[in-house]
Amino acid sequence: MPDARKMLPIARIKDREVRNFAKRAQAFLLSHSWCKKVDKGYLAWAIAGVIGIFLFRLQPTRRGVLRRLWVVVGDLPPAYLVCDNAETWQQALATYTHEMSRWVKAVRSKSSVKDLIPVNAPATPEYAKMLDHRLRFIRKRFLSVSSSELPTDT
């Protein structure tokens, strides 16, 4: 389980763009019928104007919904991710890029995206190309280096 003690509570975020990412991430969770309320939110890592990774504790509306989720937002499609196999923000981001790459591959091969991670963009070659470009950037800049080497905006 991710350790929120190493993260910044959302209320303490100083950077305006990162605060907006936090608001978008929370609104994204609340847009789902299974999310009754967000209890707590933490900034795990962010680059203002590019990407933000947050950990949220929520109150679900029904049984079987996890109470802790990662949320990735930014200049890319938002997504929530379970914490089971992602104890760190980099593991969550690696899961995000993997799942989004599956969507890109399906779109390019003209396969169904129905059972894949939901993407708030049309399943067209143009959107797949744009998303693939962003995913490559993320892998190169944020996943191929140690998290201690990366700056973060707070």
- Predicted confidence (pLDDT) at residue 145 exceeds the cutoff of 90: no
Query: Strand locations in 75-124, DSSP E?
Result: 79-82
- Predicted confidence (pLDDT) at residue 150 exceeds the cutoff of 90: no
Supply the pLDDT for residue 89. Answer: 95
d(CA 125, CA 137): 18
Three state DSSP letters for 42-57 = EEEEEECCCEEEEEEE
Task: Identify which has the larger pLDDT, 149 or 106.
Answer: 106
* SS3 of residue 103 by DSSP: helix
Q: What is the pLDDT of residues 110-139, one digit of tens each?
A: 999 999 999 999 999 999 999 999 999 999
Q: What is the pLDDT of residues 13-35, one digit of tens each?
A: 999 999 999 999 999 999 999 99
pLDDT band at 83 (very low <50, low <70, confident <90, very high): confident
- Among 1-5, 27-31, 36-40, 41-45, the range scoring the smallest mean pLDDT is 1-5
* SS3 of residue 28 by DSSP: helix
Mean pLDDT score, 65-93: 93
Q: How far is CA 40 from the centre of its chain?
A: 16
Supply the pLDDT for residue 88. Answer: 93
- Predicted confidence (pLDDT) at residue 146 exceeds the cutoff of 80: no
Distances 137 to 43, 56, 76, 117, 141 between C-alpha atoms, Å: 21, 25, 11, 20, 6
Q: Describe the strand order of the beta sheet including 79-82 as a list of residue ranges.
A: 8-9, 35-47, 51-60, 68-74, 79-82
How is the chain split into domains, by residue range? 4-145
- Predicted confidence (pLDDT) at residue 54 exceeds the cutoff of 90: yes
Number of H helices, E strands in the chain: 3, 5
Supply the pLDDT for residue 38. Answer: 97
Question: What predicted TM-score, i.e. pTM, was given to this entire model?
Answer: 0.93
d(CA 53, CA 72): 5
